[in-house]
Structure 1
Amino acid sequence: PLWAAQHIYKVTINYLASRNAYPKGRARSILKTHGQLYYGDYTFPDPPGEWRAQDYELNPYTNEKWTKDELLALQAGISIDVQGWPGDFMCDRIYGEIYYL
């Protein structure tokens, strides 16, 4: 279990973003830690939807390895947007993974 972890290697945010028309939309993960928002790299999922992932090996606030306390206070989500009409762009699923030993 996480509370017994000796080393936290990374946090990964996974999401399934889908667009039902062109032009493509763009999506990126968002972390909130210490009251600050940090944005991942933009991705451009193809219709009808694709799984994407963003790894965070370091806490972006401290630029150091993650601590257990920081993980317990971490909030995560995604940002999606599209320019142009018609169609919808959405996130069907999102989950985080913590890699530790």
Structure 2
Amino acid sequence: MSENHAQITDAEDPPKKSWLSKIIGWVVTIIILIVVVQFIAGLKSDQKAKFVAESRSLAETACAGDAVCLTAVNNRLDTCLELHSESHKTGKFSRKYTLNKESFLTCMK
């Protein structure tokens, strides 16, 4: 009876993971984290690029084809955007950009 009891209760230890499989697991985890961070950063840069493109379009529309005005748009766009726009967080990962159109267009002239 004691032999049966010993056979039933003595369980084999689960095999231990090798150091190679542990390293592979950590590498895969790190790669996944890097991909997620890059995706979130890409979303933020897409929002900013869209805002800059919309602002450029607004300024070019206000120029109505005037060559001097279009040159000023190319030269002053970054400075005027920095002076007359605001950005703030609107959630954990997104950012909202706002533009004071009147002062921005005045700066562009």
Give the TM-score normalised by structure 1. Answer: 0.23
TM-score by length of 2: 0.22
Task: Tell which has more relative contact order, 1 or 2 (C-alpha 8 A, sep 6+).
Answer: 1
Greater strand share, 1 or 2?
A: 1
